[in-house]
Structure 1
Amino acid sequence: MPTYSSSSVSEHQSQTLWVKDLSKSCYQDDQQLKLRCLQAEVDSLLEQLQNLKEQRQAATAQEE
């Protein structure tokens, strides 16, 4: 399983801004809505992944 660093989060935030700018200019309203829904899902999954990583790190720290 890949690990995600703070730079990955920063890159994701940059991609989020890029998607917002792109959606303003290139897509019709229904496509913009789908894109925003997918972006929200990506944000949610990234947050879940970060929470799992923190839980694993805490569990590892307790074992030591």
Structure 2
Amino acid sequence: MSTSSVSEKETQSILASKLNKCYYQDEQLTKFMHLQAEVDCLLEQLQSMKTEKSITNKEE
């Protein structure tokens, strides 16, 4: 095996590693964005429930 072949395989390995890292970062970002949207939705529901409870208590 020549030196250039070893170097080429190492370069390919590094590139593959970087591509995998980028893919996982995108995947993690997507998961984070979905979780953030879910948290926002739950927060809105909680605020709505608090408002409804406040209105109900004032009517009593």
For the criterion TM > 0.5, the same-fold answer is yes
Pair 1:63 & 2:37 matched: yes
Structure 1 runs, 4 residues or longer, greater than 2 Å off: none
Pair 1:48 & 2:13 matched: no
| Residues 1-64 of structure 1 mapped to structure 2, 5 A cutoff | 27-64=1-38
Q: Which runs of 5+ in 2 are unaligned?
A: 39-60
Number of residue pairs the alignment of both structures matches: 38
TM-score (norm 2): 0.60
Q: Which runs of 5+ in 1 are unaligned?
A: 1-26
User: Offset at 1:63?
Assistant: 1.1
TM-score (norm 1): 0.56
Q: Please tell me the root mean square deviation across aligned C-alpha atoms, in Å.
A: 0.7
Return the index of the structure with the highest Cα Rg: 2
Q: Which structure's relative contact order is higher, taking Cα pairs within 8 Å and 6+ residues apart?
A: 1
